[in-house]
Structure 1
Amino acid sequence: MRTDVLHAVRLARVDLKLLGRNQTAMVNVLLLPLLMGWLFSNVAAGRQIEGVPGQLYVITGLPGLMLGFAVFVNMVNTFTARREELVLKRLRASQPSPAAILGGAMLGTLAVFALQVGLVVVWSMRWQGGGAPANLPLMLLGALLGIAIMGLLAAAFAGITPNAETAQVAVLPLLLVVMLGAPIIGPTTAMPAPLGLLAEVVPVTPVVEIMRTAYLGRDFVGSGGEPLGMAAQWVAALPAIGIALAWVGVSALLARWLFRWDPRRG
């Protein structure tokens, strides 16, 4: 167990170094979600959404968008390229276990995601008057669930992606679902009834609801922004936590079924 953890940490450090050297990936993973969030927040300026200023509402939903870019897109590209270059095969043949290899990739993306969430907190406190997060433990739980869901889905999608060149196209369907279906710029209740029901079970939706509830100390899972105490925030988030855990299970099964260590042929 300890050996797997050490291997995962080493692989995460390598991933972060490689990301830092790839300027295109840095822009796509780090800056593009923030730029899109800035545009969305300007659209929501001057509005009230579920009891909070529109810009603050959008900003606290940005972790959902970041999960799409920093975790899902990044990891699909990474897994696909390394599989086709035989890197995954060589890693599996050496000492690290499969859990350490996948865990190392997720640990690296967790560091990137944590940096982005930190920037969102500074943005909110400095320019939007949002204050500090109300419930850091709940916010951390939401982040970990989001990393697990999107990381495992990335492993599954990488398994059905023929090569690194087509990876950019393969990620578009789920990325569009994340951008249009998750409650990043507005609540699911504002959507037409059928679409709203579907949006409730989009993989990123429960994560956004948990993290927004934890950040603002209000109920964004059920009652439309009602202020809550610390314990009540956990209770309110339980339905979203349940959906997120279900997605972790589904994503794990898909990853186990679809992920490939050897290059695809034909």
Structure 2
Amino acid sequence: MNPVLALSRAELNQLLRNKTTAAMALVLPLALGAMFLFATGEPDWTFALSLQLVTAQGLTVYVSTTATFAARRQDLSLKRLRSGELSDLAIIVGVLAPCLLLGLAQCLLLTGIAFAAGAPAPANPAGLVIAITGGVAVNAAVGLLTAAFTASAEAAQITTAPFFFLALGGSIWALSAQSPWVAALPGGAVTTLVRGGEVLPPLASMVLWTVVAALLGLRYAKWDRRN
């Protein structure tokens, strides 16, 4: 088996064995997604789907990515992996791939549920695809960067709060205003795309967030236990 795939499979097994992490990554986003779907009586589909996607991406991808990388650093798994044949980038991909795949799966599941419950066909299907994949990419990259400054998996509950609420706030702002600046925020970019607005500004914002966060995350990544 490919070493990266083997590492990803081992990470997925560890994630599912950890009840707290599994609940954060699997159960909570779905529960919140259901709440957003039925919170307004007659569903506001843009509201429901936007917050479903932002929440799933934030919890399943961003928080789990940060916690997973911090945990593997603290138990010295990353240090041991670096002494083997895998490159640093391959290790990062292998460790974080389960969070990305689970995030994509949850976003697709929540979107499918929304359509099955009566949501209209998207005005711009390509925009919805970008909202899902781009949002996952942004949260994974920022999660890697946040992990560099997170001492442990438990500390991730604190260190991830600012960006998570920034994304959630951006989504809520986009739902209530038509400011051209709203797409600069990750959650605002997702909501703009779900609404069927112009694709280029939110796409550019997502690419910028992903590239900058990934480059900084790779630069400042810590591979040994933090005190």
Whichever residue aligns with residue 136 of structure 2, its letter is I
Q: Matches of residues 158-197 of structure 1 in structure 2 within 5 Å?
A: 158-183=147-172, 187-189=175-177
Equivalent residue, structure 1, for 2:41: 45
* Equivalent position SS for 1:160: coil
Question: Contact 1:30/1:70 (CA < 8 Å) preserved in 2?
Answer: yes
Corresponding position: 1:249 with 2:225: no
Corresponding position: 1:96 with 2:86: yes
1:197/1:132 CA distance change after superposition, 3 Å: closer
Equivalent residue, structure 2, for 1:17: 13
Q: Quote the offset at 1:37 in angstroms.
A: 2.5
Give unmatched runs, 5+ long, in structure 2.
none
1:140/1:112 CA distance change after superposition, 3 Å: same
Q: Matches of residues 63-142 of structure 1 in structure 2 within 5 Å?
A: 63-127=53-117, 129-130=118-119, 138-142=127-131
Corresponding position: 1:151 with 2:113: no
1:239/1:197 CA distance change after superposition, 3 Å: closer
Tell me how far apart the structure 1 counterparts of residues 202 and 182 of structure 2 sit (CA, whole Å). 12
Q: What TM-score results when the alignment is normalised by the length of structure 2?
A: 0.86
1:251/1:31 CA distance change after superposition, 3 Å: same
Tell me how far apart the structure 1 counterparts of residues 57 and 25 of structure 2 sit (CA, whole Å). 9
CA radius of gyration, larger in = 1
Question: Contact 1:44/1:58 (CA < 8 Å) preserved in 2?
Answer: no
Q: Quote the offset at 1:133 in angstroms.
A: 6.0
Q: Quote the offset at 1:119 in angstroms.
A: 2.0
Tell me how far apart the structure 2 counterparts of residues 117 and 60 of structure 1 sit (CA, whole Å). 9
The structure 2 residue matched to 1:239, chosen from 190, 201, 204, is 201
Question: Contact 1:157/1:170 (CA < 8 Å) preserved in 2?
Answer: yes
* Equivalent position SS for 1:256: helix
Give unmatched runs, 5+ long, in structure 1.
47-52, 191-195, 214-218, 222-235
Tell me how far apart the structure 2 counterparts of residues 142 and 121 of structure 1 sit (CA, whole Å). 11
| CA root-mean-square deviation | 2.6
Matched-pair identity in %: 27
Q: Number of matched residues?
A: 226
Equivalent residue, structure 2, for 1:32: 28
Question: Contact 1:188/1:200 (CA < 8 Å) preserved in 2?
Answer: no
Encode CA deviations 1:108-161: one digit per residue, 9 max, x unaligned. 12221222123213321332x126667665544443322322112111111111
* Equivalent position SS for 2:154: helix
Question: Contact 2:70/2:153 (CA < 8 Å) preserved in 1?
Answer: yes
* Equivalent position SS for 1:68: helix
